[in-house]
Amino acid sequence: MYDSRHSDQSSPSRPSRVESPGVVAARLTGRSVAGVRPLSAALAEVALDGGQSVIVKRASGPGAVAAEAAGLAWLADAGSVRVPAVHGYDADWLVLDRVPTGRASAAGAMRFGRALAALHASGAEAFGAPPPGGPVDAWIGSAPMRNVTGGDWPAWYAEQRVAPYLRRAVDAGTLQPGEARVVERVCERLPRLAGPADPAARLHGDLWSGNVLWDSDGEAWLIDPAAHGGHRETDLAMLHLFGCPQLDRILDGYAEVAPLAAGHRERIGLHQLFPLLVHAVLFGRGYAEQALAAAESALRE
C-alpha cells in the first residue's frame, strides 16, 4: 500500500486556485482521467485511464487530509483490516482507491470481527496518541478533535473526549447547564464505571456503520478514520450506535480473538457518550437527548 507518511506530498503549499476533482486526480496520481462522477459537494469518483476508479475527497478543515492519510496508513500497518490505498494528497485533497461495494456476508463479518480485534491489539503509544505523522489537531467527521495523550483512560476520556463536546453543546444551547450535570456526574464516576483497565488500543475512532464498506465479495473495508489510541470498547460501541450489518457475527468473530471484560454490555452507553455528544454539536438536540439517556443509563449500572 502507498504509505502516505513518507510521501513528498505530505506538506505542500496550498494550490493557488480551486481545482476540479478530475484535475486533482491527474495531478496527484500522474495519470490521465477518463471520467468524473460527482458524489457530493466534497466527494467524486474519478475513472483513470486503464479502468481504475479512485475517490477524490476535499478536506473538511485544516489538517483533515493529513490526519486521514496518517490514520489510514496506521490502520494498514497493523496488517489486519482492509483500508483503501492512498494514491496522493495535499493540503486540500485526498485521492484513494474506490472500494467496489456489495453486501455484507456472514463469513466476511466473522473475519472482520477477528481483524478488528487484531487491529485493536496492535496498540498505540498512549490514550489519545495520534497516528505516526498525524496532527494533534485532527477531526471526527466535520468536528475538530484533539489528540492529546493521557496515561489513565477514565481521566483521559472525561477530559479529552467527553468534556470538550459537552462544553460546546452547552455553549450552543443544545444542552442546558442543568442537563449537562448528568454527564458531569458520569465523568466524576468514570474510574468506577470504566471496568477493568485495558491497554491503549489502535482505534479507527469513528466506526459507525457508514464507515464500514462491504465489497463485492462480502468483505469489510474501513474508511474515514478518526484514528487514535483509545479503549477498544469505544469502537465497538460505535458499531452498536447506528447498527451495522451482521453485527452479531462481527462481535462473535471479535470474541474468538479477544473476549471483552465482564460487564462490557452495560458499558456500551458510557462509550457512546463521546460520539453522541459529537453528533449533538454537529446535528442538534435529538442527539443531545440520546447522550443524556446514555449518561443516565451509565449511572444506573
Instruction: Give the mean pLDDT of 257-281.
Output: 97
Q: Per residue in 185-242, pLDDT tens?
A: 999 999 999 999 999 999 999 999 999 999 999 999 999 999 999 999 999 999 999 8
What local confidence, expressed as pLDDT, does residue 10 receive?
Answer: 38
Does residue 50 register a pLDDT over 80? Answer: yes
CA-to-CA separations, 134 to 143, 181, 205, 268, in angstroms, rounded: 16, 34, 14, 28
Return the number of other C-beta atoms located less than 10 Å from residue 285's C-beta: 12
What local confidence, expressed as pLDDT, does residue 18 receive?
Answer: 77
Q: How many helices (H) and strands (E) does the chain have?
A: 10, 11
Residue 243 CA to residue 209 CA, distance in Å, equals: 6
Domains and CATH numbers, the chain: 4-97 (3.30.200.20), 106-300 (3.90.1200.10)
Strands (E), the chain: 33-40, 43-48, 53-58, 86-89, 93-97, 137-140, 143-146, 201-203, 212-214, 220-222, 228-230
Does residue 271 register a pLDDT over 60? Answer: yes
Give the residue, 72 or 15, on which the prediction is more confident. Answer: 72
Q: By percentage, how much of the chain surpasses pLDDT 90?
A: 90
pTM above 0.85, yes or no: yes
What local confidence, expressed as pLDDT, does residue 1 receive?
Answer: 27
Single out the catalytic residue among 90, 97, 206, 235: 206
Does residue 7 register a pLDDT over 50? Answer: no
Mean residue pLDDT of the chain comes to: 93
- What confidence category does residue 96 fall into, taking pLDDT thresholds of 50, 70 and 90? very high
Q: Per residue in 34-46, pLDDT tens?
A: 999 999 999 999 9
Q: Is 248 a catalytic residue?
A: no
The H-or-E segment that residue 296 falls in is: helix 285-300
